[in-house]
Structure 1
Amino acid sequence: MCLPEARPPAQTLNPLQALLQGEQGIGPLARLPEPGPEAGNGPQRRLKLWDLEEKLHCPVIGTCISMAELDKLARKLGFGHRQNTGNREFSLHVEAVGHSRQRNSVAEGLQRYLDRKYHAWVERFAKHKTDAQVRAQWQDCLLRGEVAGPLWAVCTHKAASASTRQLAYEDIHMLSHQIGAGQAADAHRLQYLEQEHARLQAEHKRQEQARLAESTALQRELAQARARLLQQDAQLQTMEALQARLERFESGTAMVEMGQRLMQLQDSHDKLSAITRRMWELERNLKDAREEATRIAQERDEALTEREALEQLLHALDPQERMCMEAGSEACAGCENALSSRCILYVGGRASLMAQYRQLADRLGITLIHHDGGQEESLSRLPELIRGADVVLCPTDKISHNAYYHVKAHCKRVGKPCLFYKGGGVSGFAVAMARLSRGEFSLSSPRLGMETDA
């Protein structure tokens, strides 16, 4: 059988408290109050806290409300402010019992709290319609150690008679004596058990630490054993492989395989060498073919460039100029459309193309003077030739640096117009002549037009 929950000594009902509250007949030999008109059938509604007999207020308040709950209710409902030099819990209990004797705000607040706290028990007891059922349910709860909720449900049940409530009162009263008598022994027993519990906890902690240390050591040893086992397995596999190779060498199988493999490698090497030689030969042929193609393409490009330059030069001249060119240089000499530069000094260029340069210049009615740029002729003749020419023409890619700077310096000194251009071929010469016909110069005299870069 489960015992009811233990309460502080201040909540235990004793004869002194009963006398302070003005109760009568608290012992088992006390005389029961005379049954009223409701003794047979009980009240027609649930009783309120203030409707109970005065002797029931003390066990109800002390059993159904803990001291922590009573302290909160006192602050909320506004009681418990009386000055008392004794036990405050006892004072709160006595004051709450006093307020419960009649209907007031404190009693109503306690009533609401008890109904809310023990709503489940009130609903469970409400299913019983007779006093005998209520009494049997109370005794069953008492055997199970369930006291607080059933006490409130029995005391306020509308079918419970005065004798049933008296029975509940007597049971609670005797239970309080039993609890008070065994409280000291329980306290000593509890202290001993707490000490024993602390000792066992310390012992358990020490054993747990020792077990943990032992487990850690065992795990470390197990890991080392596993590592050694893996190492031994690897060594065993290596030894087995070496043993297999040794057996193959001893039986001659490995030597035969190595010879076959060597022959295959030799065949592959011979084939690769032949392919390599063929590849080098093809690369040389391809290189020669590319060089030949490049040379042919350059010649083709030069020929195309010369043709285009000549065509541009012919198209640049008007019909009258073409007629003059077709008539010859003597007929064109007195034409007003002929080039104003009658004498041109050509410095540098290709000596092998001079005949073609002169032929083109003659067709245009121009006297062409040539200086090789210091290859065979002296550069000291340049100032005299520059002064005697109308225009100086100089291909920059077919002349030395020394000759280039001599030509540029003398042309600036005497104010002679000069055209520097790239392209020493016939096409370049033709383009340069076309530029001269348009009045384009790299260095111009003060009386000529704007200076133009090559």
Structure 2
Amino acid sequence: MSEHRLHGEVVHLARRKDGGGKLLQKMLDRRHEREIRRFDRARTVDDVRALWRESLERGEIPGAYWAAMTHPATDWTLVQDIFGEVHMLSHLVGQSNRADIRRLRQLEIDLAEREERIAAQEARIHELSEQRDTLSARQRASEALQSVTRVTATRPDDTSREAVQSLEARLARECAHAEALEEKLAILTESASRLSHDLAAEMARRKVVEAELSTTEAVMTVHNSLDETGDAASKPRFVCDLTGRTLLYVGGRPRQVAQLRRFVEARGGTLLSHDGGIEESRTLLPGLVNRSERVFFPVECVSHEATALVKRFCEAGGTPFQPVRSASLASFVHGLSSV
């Protein structure tokens, strides 16, 4: 059964009031028991809304979502607000993931094409090597024959002289052909080396894209498996909690920077931004760097001059800086994993 069909079956089951619906209710209550107990202290709809806001800022969404939706004090207005926030957050992350998935698939196609070209080049190099060896053997045989002819023909007649001249002309042609093949072999060997280097670079870039996608998915993954003792071994690998943090983003595109700011603010942080000197003065950079705990800049969407200034100001003030691969949300979230 596919995940979509399984989802539909569970939704159909939830609408029923028989034993299956009750079992589903009990299963969800057990899974999110910790959040339900935390929401039990809420007495009014405002209390429920405040607890929901706290969970949203920490990124602990699934358990808080179930606890808030099933709380007796939750009214229809709060249900619509909570559902709308989760729905729009899924759009924000889904849009970035789809773009990165498209780039990843294109990288896979490019890698396959490069591998085919390298295989063809290697086959051609092997063929030319065999031709060179054959010509070298023929050249050695011709030289040996020419030597024997010169020794035995002390007084060559016209016929033997023509034969020697023919052999010498043939030897010259074979030598020229061998030199041409060696030159072509050197060119193809250099081309294969460049293709191998490009292939390695593309594979490294693919690993970075996969890491960014994995980190982005981890932010939206359910991390409510902690027991009552708070066992450290069951804690998630990466929780995107930016409460009280101030970050600076230099470069990028205005619309994407606005998305990044909403992402950071939804997790309790503050994101300052500077376009790298396109419209904003670069004299503002030192003050922004001093106000920030860490500076990010997308290497593909910021000028070299702005990058050099940011690095210099960060090193002077002891502020960490983090270059990210692109201006996408996935690259930014992956960069946040080191904060």
Same fold by TM (over 0.5)? no
Larger CA Rg, structure 1 vs 2: 1
TM-score, with length taken from structure 2: 0.36
Please give the TM-score of this superposition, normalised by the length of structure 1. 0.28
